[in-house]
Chain A
Amino acid sequence: MNSESNTPVTRQEALSALGEIDRVRNHVRRTLAAGVMSAMLILWGVIWIVGFSAEQFVPHAYRVWLALDAVGITASLFLGVWSRKPTVDGPSSGRIGACWLVLFAYAALWSFLLVPSGALSGPGWADYAHVLEQKMALLWVTVCMFAYVVMGLWLDRVLLWLGILVTVASVAGFFFLQPYFFLWVAITGGGSLVVSGLLIRKTWGANHA
């Protein structure tokens, strides 16, 4: 069969073919991302809801966070290994997970660097520590939502708008809902992770391209 041809293809056929190519490419990307990503999002969404709620209501909540982070990291590693499907063999698999890990590593580094090491005591420290905790929470939420926006540009516009919406809601909560800020983040940040995880599980990879 001769693979090259000057057979006329109408503009309408060409447009339709290009549309089909975009649709298939997008569907494949989503299908490959769906499994492990939805599980991770639900896991960390629940962790955020519990952790930030604890920050709102429990003194010394950092102990709760340490336990939750240990559970989250162990479960993430387990999910990463368990969900390695034999469907794709090559560098595509796990790349999104690796991006999240790199982003979390940077956020952890920034969290460490931004805490002022020379001012851990003194009369004004208690008040400042409370604000600092809120700023750290805001840093993690916005970093996570930054990843949402990037994924949204790549995979699904729903994630993009969700990322923007939660970022705006969290920043607004920081300035206008200070007394209930952690509870606000638990609902908007943690809730959005759980909802988007469920959404991805339900819609991506479920239908044919």
Chain B
Amino acid sequence: MPDIDLIIHTPARLRIMAALVSLEPRAKLDFRTLGSTLGLTDGNLGAHLLTLEEAGYIKVEKSFVVRKPRTNVSATAKGRARFEEHVAALKEICRV
């Protein structure tokens, strides 16, 4: 039986992972867009992204575009796999 992932199961991180996994595998989402889409403040989003990054579930890339800093976020292969496993675990619970 697949396991519930405690890192992902937190409501904010669940929504962050759901948003990133809904993109194509190589696609990245801009930090601001991710925050505004999910209705999270910069500080709150940054803290959750750090947790997910430390777990290896997401990749955060910082760059400069026309001298302005930009942060792009994407789900890693490991993150996608763990998220799908988490979803499978949730479905399993619903079936019981």
Q: Is B6 touching A87 in the complex (CB atoms < 8 A)?
A: no
A-B contact pairs, 25 of them (CB 8 A): A1-B7, A1-B55, A3-B5, A3-B55, A4-B4, A6-B3, A7-B6, A9-B90, A10-B93, A15-B94, A17-B90, A18-B87, A18-B91, A28-B18, A86-B70, A88-B27, A88-B33, A89-B72, A90-B26, A91-B27, A92-B27, A93-B27, A95-B24, A208-B37, A209-B37
Residue from the list A3, A14, A209 in contact with B39, Cβ < 8 A: A209
Q: Which residues of A contact B (CB under 8 A)?
A: 1-7, 9-11, 14-15, 17-18, 20-21, 24-25, 27-29, 31, 86-93, 95, 208-209
Q: Is B39 touching A208 in the complex (CB atoms < 8 A)?
A: yes
- Give chain B residues whose Cβ lies under 8 Å from the Cβ of A28: 18-19, 22-23, 37
- Give chain B residues whose Cβ lies under 8 Å from the Cβ of A92: 23-24, 27
Q: Which residues of B contact A (CB under 8 A)?
A: 3-9, 11, 14-15, 18-19, 21-24, 26-30, 32-33, 36-39, 51, 55, 65, 70, 72, 74, 82, 87, 90-91, 93-94, 96
Q: Is B5 touching A88 in the complex (CB atoms < 8 A)?
A: no
